[in-house]
Amino acid sequence: MIVELFVLPNWVTFCTTFVILLLFIHRLRLHRRKYNLPPGPKPWPIIGNMNLIGSLPHQSIHGLTKKYGPIMRLWFGSKLVIVGSSPDIAKAFLKTNDIVLVGRPKFACGKYTTYNYSNITWNPYGPYFQQARKMFQRELFSVKSLESYEYMRKEELHIFLHKLFNSKNKTILLKDHLSTFSLNIISRMVLGKKYLEKSENVIISPEEFKEMLDELFLLNGVFNIGDFIPWIQFLDLQGYVKRMKACGKRFNRFMEHVLEEHIERRKDVKDYVAKDMVDVLLQLAENPNLEVKIKRNGVKAFTQDLIAGGTDTSSVIIEWAISELVKRPEIIKRATEELDRVIGRDRWVEEKDIVNLPYVFAIAKETMRLHPVTPMLVPREATENCNVDGYDIPKGTMILVNTWTIGRDSDSWDNPYEFIPERFINNDIDIIKGHDYKMLPLGAGRRMCPGYPLGLKVVQSSLANLLHGFNWRLPNDMKKEDLNMEEIFGLTTPKKIPLEVVLEPKLPYHLYCL
């Protein structure tokens, strides 16, 4: 990461800055002497180790881990960062010391894009967060709630497959189809209608909606220099804060429109029955028995969580899965044999069928191991002093768990850099409850993703039907060795170059008709 230089306006500012730097360096040295910190590279003045972090931070940190070990100390500016890169250290962070390492750093993205830390992702741990998590688990993502929306997911899946059928034998950008499909599902479940369809009363264009979400994910994952060197934050050297403010304003305009539509719909209706998740949130906000009152910004922030968390993650996983599979026709063949045996060729795969498709589920698991949608879990912060593996972790330390490295741990996985779904057949590796720290695609502990039941349903059923309904190949006689597998870093990690692919239908024609 390159720190841009700036011009000091006068000698007074220069002298003041120089004194601050001396005090900063002095305090930093005292701070280091006080604690037994893990090993790590020697930091530079002011920037710490930020010069070692490239455009793909998880890979930069992976390289440093090889030298300094599974628990490592870094300095991002004046912020002490402890990185865990092994299953044992991840367990110590996310289970043994979960209650102590459950905080969130106060980053600019949380302030400007999530209603001043009002969402479940960036909110500090406390009564508000605990209440929000219960709401998500018991009201929004309960078994009963997800079953009530299953018909929506089924309808959107059929529309998605129909559109792919109409693109048969043509080169397509799979990402475009996946993102539209995911957004339509989430829009119906959360907002009550599809916001990617053009209409007279549209508040936002489909293109702007997708662009807004892409920007949100990018800005919530960037390394913003001002977060780690607070006294230069006002300069906004990278321009990220300006973009965060603009993104926040665009989202707020959209969210205000959504809330007003829902409030108007509920007006003067006695015993109104919630039709979508925003309705549920508005009803909860009116509940006088809530421990912490949910204000209007809270409803908007939770709605934003639901939209963002349910779209990009599933489409990213599926695109990576198909990217791996087009390079390995033998895996597609085995998955097809399982699908033909269990499902047959006269119907589509339903959500209830997934339990009987262990090899297809193994492909999804292997994709999440090798291409974790969040290669580093959202940063945590120590709320108290604690000790891990014999090292001190002072209060206020930022905690990173590098799931990208953990998924490549040679002590946990044979041939860790190879895509081998068979490793998940006939074993007890758990990815759903977050109890197996060899693989953490959904996180673990109190900060584990609350929407994982929905995400897994969408990923499993979508991937199964894509393999069941189509043959896949690379376009224009492209060789599998030429397929670009580079990443882009953000809150999620999609492919740098979207997958271009050609598909051919293989089921009876009538199944693709609406």
Please write the tens of the pLDDT for every residue from 224-259.
Answer: 999 999 999 999 999 999 999 999 999 999 999 999
Which of 287, 236, 245, 282 has the alpha carbon at shortest distance from 263? 282
Phi, psi of 222 (to 5 degrees): -70, 155
Phi, psi of 510 (to 5 degrees): -65, -20
Per-residue pLDDT at 13 exceeds 80: no
CA 193/CA 185 separation, integer angstroms: 9
Tell how far CA 444 is from the center of its chain. 14
Strand partners, 502: 171, 473
Secondary structure (3-state) at 65: helix
Confidence label for 25 from pLDDT (cuts 50, 70 and 90): low
Q: Higher confidence at residue 335 or residue 441?
A: 335
Sheet with 71-76, edge to edge strand ranges? 71-76, 79-84, 398-401, 380-381
Q: Is 449 a known ligand-binding residue?
A: yes
Handedness of CA 292, 248, 493, 5 (dihedral sign): negative
- Percent of the chain clearing pLDDT 90 (strictly above): 75
Per-residue pLDDT at 135 exceeds 90: yes
Per-residue pLDDT at 485 exceeds 80: yes
Mean pLDDT, residues 76-87:
96
CA 72-77-79 angle, 5° bins:
60
Please write the tens of the pLDDT for every residue from 347-362.
Answer: 999 999 999 999 999 9
Tokens at 492, concatenated: 């999620």
Within 13 A of 227's CA, how many CA atoms are on the CB side?
26
Answer CATH for 11-111+124-512 from 1.10.569.10, 1.25.40.10, 1.10.630.10, 1.20.1260.10: 1.10.630.10
Which of 449, 448, 450 has the alpha carbon at shortest distance from 94? 448
Mean pLDDT, residues 295-315:
90
Predicted structure pTM score? 0.90
Pairing relation of β-strands 386-388 and 79-84? unpaired
Mean pLDDT, residues 26-52:
81
Per-residue pLDDT at 33 exceeds 80: no
If you average pLDDT over every residue of the chain, what do you get?
Answer: 89
Cβ partners under 8 Å of residue 267, min gap 6: none
Per-residue pLDDT at 172 exceeds 50: yes
Please write the tens of the pLDDT for every residue from 256-301.
Answer: 999 999 999 888 788 888 999 999 999 999 998 899 999 999 999 9
Confidence label for 177 from pLDDT (cuts 50, 70 and 90): very high
Please write the tens of the pLDDT for every residue from 379-399.
Answer: 999 999 999 999 999 999 999
Cβ partners under 8 Å of residue 5, min gap 6: none
Cβ partners under 8 Å of residue 114, min gap 6: 121, 122, 220, 248, 301, 304
> Domain locations in the chain?
11-111+124-512
Confidence label for 202 from pLDDT (cuts 50, 70 and 90): low
Other beta carbons within 10 Å of 335? 21
